[in-house]
């Protein structure tokens, strides 16, 4: 019987070398600088080609789909067993103690953007596949390791791949948590656009902005005021700075003042893990005598979105016995007096509700005379693979065998490529007791955990490919 942990330890140096190479690439989606050769920007294309080049170096057959997705191949058979990883990352954002694209190991932890989401787990799955091949494990299926380059945004890569290539019959994505994720909530972002109001007054909100991506709780928010700044602002600022987890600073601006609020970023799948700087700033501003348009904007945020990750104040809360609670996170906010006045609200919803119901709830809460609400982009329906499916049972058994811990089903608000096929799940690489720092500053993954993931993935691949 193969000692997978011992085999994984042997490849530690080469794995870390390859992973470091990948982590040095700033591979966030960047369509502002897209080219015909890099439709999603130079970084994603470079990371994909680097990963495929590593596989070619090691003797695998590969396929590149328009520099937006790729495949690493092993085995033959009637069924296709899929692995799904991604090379793109969310923006680094503020608050890092090290350069997010210059990987560093401290206290056994590898710090870099993408170390845990998803370059670390993806390279672990790749080396697991290589171990299975090199140890000549019996394989009776085609194994397609499919790599996307915009999992953190619109999934252009994976959808382009499936336009021309066969979908796997079953598989897993190394892009979440152990022991397994066999259910994922629906995901949709709702554009809340505010209707015009007068922008004149003694105190005007001249700008409000927050957020990097719709799947990240905003760590910072900025607003500019013009006109007669009330003396009460100093008291409000002092009170805000007494609150745990937030900090607000001011600086002079044309005819007024700029306020910058700092909170804590987090993955939007669990907004309560972060401290939303935007809603805290709006709540502070709501205590000022702003012009009608500015007041309409900040009061809606303060009254209906502040410190309410379950959507109760918007009238969209919903709970399912299997999939849990709906979550709601205002993640991208823009206000211009004569332009866009918008909140992009990221919602993760269980079965039992849907986008139309959510739109109706938000509209009723905020008022049809105040806002229009629509789905921004595309909505993904809830996804669930039953616990008695052989895929789920096998993966849970592998987890138990390697950790000695009981396996159990889990449903999350995050969205992984596992949901792209009916019998797809997410499997690791974050251990249940590990800190989840995906999408946060100072993202890291313990090196020992990466090596353990190699062992677990290799064992899982060998069992599922027989």
Distance CA 75, CA 82 (A): 12
pLDDT digits (tens, 9 = 90+) for 301-341: 999 999 999 999 999 999 999 999 999 999 999 999 999 99
Per-residue pLDDT at 92: 94
Distance CA 348, CA 34 (A): 30
Closest by Cα among 355, 181, 347, 385 to 270: 347
Contact of 320 with 351, CB cutoff 8 Å: yes
What is the DSSP track for 49-65? HHHHHHHHHTT-EEEEE
pLDDT digits (tens, 9 = 90+) for 51-89: 999 999 999 999 999 999 999 999 999 999 999 999 999
Burial class (CB in 10 A: 0-12, 13-18, 19+), 108: exposed
Per-residue pLDDT at 352: 96
Distance CA 215, CA 66 (A): 26
Provide the CATH topology of domain 187-380. Answer: Alpha-Beta Plaits (3.30.70)
Examine the pLDDT at 101 and tell me if it is beyond 90: yes
Distance CA 158, CA 84 (A): 9
Looking only at the bridges linking them, the beta strands covering 256-262 and 247-253 are: antiparallel
Would you kindly state where each structural domain of the chain is located, as residue ranges? Answer: 4-185+383-464, 187-380
Average pLDDT for residues 428-449, to the nearest whole number?
95
Distance CA 28, CA 118 (A): 12
Examine the pLDDT at 1 and tell me if it is beyond 90: no
- How many C-beta neighbours within 10 Å does residue 258 have? 16
Per-residue pLDDT at 327: 98
Per-residue pLDDT at 304: 98
Q: Annotated catalytic sites, by residue?
A: 88, 151
Reduce the DSSP state of residue 195 to 3 states and report it: coil
Looking only at the bridges linking them, the beta strands covering 61-65 and 69-74 are: antiparallel
State in Å, rounded, how far the first CA of the chain is from the last one: 15
Average pLDDT for residues 147-170, to the nearest whole number?
96
Closest by Cα among 274, 220, 275 to 249: 220
Distance CA 425, CA 410 (A): 10
Distance CA 326, CA 358 (A): 10
Provide the CATH topology of domain 4-185+383-464. Answer: Aminopeptidase (3.40.630)
Please list, in sequence order, all residues whose beta carbon lies within 8 angstroms of the beta carbon of residue 372, skipping any fewer than 6 positions away: 192, 193, 195, 363
pLDDT-derived band at 408, boundaries 50, 70, 90: very high
Average pLDDT for residues 194-217, to the nearest whole number?
96
pLDDT digits (tens, 9 = 90+) for 412-424: 988 899 999 999 9
Average pLDDT for residues 132-152, to the nearest whole number?
97
Contact of 421 with 144, CB cutoff 8 Å: no
Per-residue pLDDT at 378: 85
Distance CA 266, CA 275 (A): 8
Q: Please state, for a pLDDT cut of 90, what percent of the chain lies above it.
A: 97
Contact of 241 with 247, CB cutoff 8 Å: yes
Distance CA 167, CA 158 (A): 10
Average pLDDT for residues 147-172, to the nearest whole number?
96
Average pLDDT over all residues of the chain: 97
């Amino acid at each position: 019987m193969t000692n997978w942990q011992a085999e994984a330890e042997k490849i530690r140096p080469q794995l870390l070398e390859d992973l470091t190479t990948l982590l040095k690439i700033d591979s966030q989606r960047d369509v502002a600088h897209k080219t015909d050769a890099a439709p999603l920007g130079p970084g994603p294309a470079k990371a994909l080609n680097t990963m495929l080049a590593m596989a070619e170096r090691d003797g695998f057959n590969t396929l590149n789909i328009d520099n937006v997705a790729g495949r690493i191949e092993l085995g033959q058979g009637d069924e296709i067993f899929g692995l799904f990883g991604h090379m793109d990352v969310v923006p680094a954002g503020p608050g890092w103690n090290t350069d997010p694209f210059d990987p560093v190991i401290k206290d056994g932890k590898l710090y870099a953007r993408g170390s845990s989401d998803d370059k670390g787990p993806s390279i672990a799955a790749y080396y697991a596949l290589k171990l299975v091949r090199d140890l000549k494990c019996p394989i009776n299926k085609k194994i397609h390791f499919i790599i996307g380059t915009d999992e953190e945004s619109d999934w252009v890569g994976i959808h382009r791949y499936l336009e021309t290539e066969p979908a796997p019959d079953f598989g897993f994505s190394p892009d979440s948590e152990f022991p397994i994720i066999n259910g994922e909530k629906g995901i949709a972002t709702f554009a809340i656009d505010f209707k015009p109001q007068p922008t004149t007054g003694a105190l005007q909100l001249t700008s409000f902005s927050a957020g990097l991506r719709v799947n990240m709780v905003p760590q910072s928010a900025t607003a500019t005021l013009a006109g007669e700044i009330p003396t009460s602002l100093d008291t409000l600022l002092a009170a805000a700075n007494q609150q745990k987890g937030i900090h607000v600073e001011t600086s002079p601006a044309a005819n007024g003042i700029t306020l910058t609020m700092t909170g804590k970023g987090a993955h939007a799948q669990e907004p309560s893990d972060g401290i939303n700087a935007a809603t805290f700033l709006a709540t502070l501003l709501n205590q000022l005598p702003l012009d009608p348009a500015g007041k309409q904007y900040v009061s809606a945020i303060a009254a209906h979105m502040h410190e309410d990750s379950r959507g109760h104040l918007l009238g969209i809360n919903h709970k399912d016995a299997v999939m849990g609670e709906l979550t709601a996170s205002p993640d991208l906010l823009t206000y211009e007096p004569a332009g866009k006045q918008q909140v992009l609200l990221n919602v993760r919803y269980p079965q039992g509700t849907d986008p139309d119901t959510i739109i109706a709830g938000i509209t009723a809460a905020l008022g049809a005379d105040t806002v229009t609400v629509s789905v921004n982009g595309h909505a993904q329906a809830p996804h669930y693979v039953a616990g008695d499916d052989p895929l789920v049972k096998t993966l849970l058994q592998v987890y138990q065998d390697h950790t000695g811990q009981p396996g159990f089903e889990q449903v999350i608000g995050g969205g992984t490529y596992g949901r792209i096929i009916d019998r797809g799940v997410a499997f690791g690489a974050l251990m249940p007791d590990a800190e989840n720092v995906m999408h946060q500053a100072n993202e890291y993954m313990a090196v020992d955990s990466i090596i353990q993931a190699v062992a677990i993935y290799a064992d899982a691949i060998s069992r599922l490919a027989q």
